[in-house]
A = this chain, B = another copy of it.
């Protein structure tokens, strides 16, 4: 059932999000610091039972140069530099198993699937630690360090997302001029951030992106992971201002206002995990051209394989052009 705004109001909805004044400086500094760190890019071929694809275990320097893992999947026997998809995954998951998620490489792309620091135990496995201590927090990642923008978990995660693109471009199989970012939910939030923070991508695909219009999100759903933030504020009653300020640095609406590459979004009108108004908040703020799929009868699974099939078309156009 619909629990958010009526569809007509959704389509017109604009977020009142106020970004911190130093938003751009914050991210410029953050990325400069990360890029200044040492850190190796390691690519290890995997002995897999696959005959049509090659899979590589990648380790690249992320936030603070910390090593972040990824899978690289490429069509077997591909030569030359390929159009490339960098993928970020949803909340709770990690890069998973090398035998999962074969679609993108089977369709002829180089496909770099970034692991998620400190997650990877909820529905798919991960292998990357989150090397930072944390103050008091609600269970989960969404409040780890939330009272200080510089110590907030999502600063590290989004920096990893940008650095994954940097790393991809250094891989022999990747055509650095033809890179797109893609993700579901939390991964969609990361794709928006990368689209804003990396100047020369070719496209972004954000399925039901998490982390958009967060101040509204935490009041219109009780579901996790937004619930973690609400739970934190329910206990730390005097920290609303500090918490909302921190969240302003990672809100997808702010990234949407800055991103110019063609983007494909999907939104589900019965989504109670990522409320549709929060997706429209990003869509309606997006600076570049937008293609939008509205799924009227779906929850957070949104378009599923239908989203993937349409994304393949969208990316073929964007990356082959």
Interface residues of A (CB under 8 A from B): 1-2, 49-53, 75-76, 92, 94, 96-97, 99-100, 102-103, 105-108, 118-141, 143, 218-222, 228, 230-238, 240, 269-270, 295-299, 301, 303-306, 308-309, 312-313, 316
Contacts and interface: CB of A to CB of B under 8 A. Distances in A.
Given A137-B118, A137-B121, A51 B297 contact: no
A303 to B, nearest CB: 6
Contacts of A235: 120-125
A305 B100 contact: yes
Q: How many copies does the complex hold?
A: 6
A135 B108 contact: no
A246 to B, nearest CB: 14
Contacts of A218: 297
A309 to B, nearest CB: 6
A136 B107 contact: no
B122 A237 contact: no
B221 A107 contact: no
A220 B221 CA distance: 17
Given A122-B231, A122-B235, A135-B129, A1 B220 contact: yes
A143 B122 CA distance: 12
Nearest to A227: B1
Contacts of A143: 121
A1 B139 contact: no
Given A100-B305, A118-B135, 7 more contacts: A1-B221, A49-B107, A53-B106, A120-B235, A123-B235, A219-B269, A234-B297
Contacts of A140: 139-140
Contacts of A52: 52-53, 75-76, 105-108
Contacts of A129: 133-136
Contacts of A233: 296-297
